[in-house]
Structure 1
Amino acid sequence: MSTMGARITRVIANFNVENRAHREISKLKPRAAPRHQTSASFPQHNTADNINQRNDPLLSMLKDVYVESENPASQVAMLKKTEQETERRLLKFSLPGDPYGICNIADVPKGKLSLVEALTVLNNHKRMPKTWTTEKMAKEYALDPRDVKALTDFFIPFDVKIFPAKSVENKQINDS
């Protein structure tokens, strides 16, 4: 039945195709939009002549300009010195060995935490919030109290829960 429907639609679609094509071809074509004016309407200047000509007003303005330069290398050296002079503190906690591709770090800048310390701080605060207050953590790790408050409010360590098996009689799949 579907082939019958396809034949009918093909006949209707091809009906009077030639006349419809001639009618479309004989229609007047719409006029193209006018083109944008090109640079031909603008006066042509020879740029080589303009470059080589002396322009007295520009020269007088250039004489008024005074440029003072400093060596940026000295600024870079000063930045390196300030980076080296930042106070550092020893790590409170670290993982044994070199896990996760993290190199052995002995100290961190004050106001910063290592990944292991951050997890330890969050876990301590979660388990004993009355003992590990934000003020105590800020004092212990030389952190800004606002940063510690934001850390405890917005970062929550994973909660691992292990459910015991209901019974030993659980069904097991037999390898057959």
Structure 2
Amino acid sequence: MEQYSTAMGRVWSKLTRPVKNINVESRAHKVIDEIPTRAPNYPSTEKVLDKFINEHPELLDKQKQKDEGLLTNLKHIRIESFGPPPEIKSLKRPLPTITTTQKEPEYGFFEPRRIPVGKTSIRLALNFLADHQAAPKTYSAAVIATEHKLDIRQVEQVIKYFHTFHIHMPLELKKKHPKLLDLLETKKTIGAKDHPELLDTPVEPEVKKT
């Protein structure tokens, strides 16, 4: 049924197309030659225009006439340029000179080279947080604020709501592997081949084939 209706639609469009295109050019010229009607003004604007036309009818007639004096002055205007053309400087930023691949920053983004007074970086914040957690009396908020030139109230909020991570090991694991905590604190990659004592089962050494 759908195929039948589609075929009938195509046939009908072919039959009616010549009728639609009769005298199409003259009809198009008639539409183009029609003067478009201007959109009506707002009532308040219409009142202002009517008042201006009634009070200054001469200005309305004058704007429809050419001013011969202005046209004559316009013909005498001449622009002359002297000297070499001005140099056009490009405002585009220069391309980067470093084309090598940069190392991935430790904290996810590059740290600033200069830290303004009253500000700090993530690295410095982690350092004084770790110092405060290790020795709260020695590294108090006042000492940290004086050393890093920070606002003491902001430092108090930081050490109150932010803490660094600590590794807590079960006593059994610590007795079984006493060097594990030291290895984790050094931030080194711990591999079973380098430290086979960390595994319950010994690691068989690799045998190189010749």
Where relative contact order (Cα < 8 A, 6+ residues apart) is larger, the structure is: 1
The bucket for the TM-score relative to the shorter chain is 0.3 to 0.5
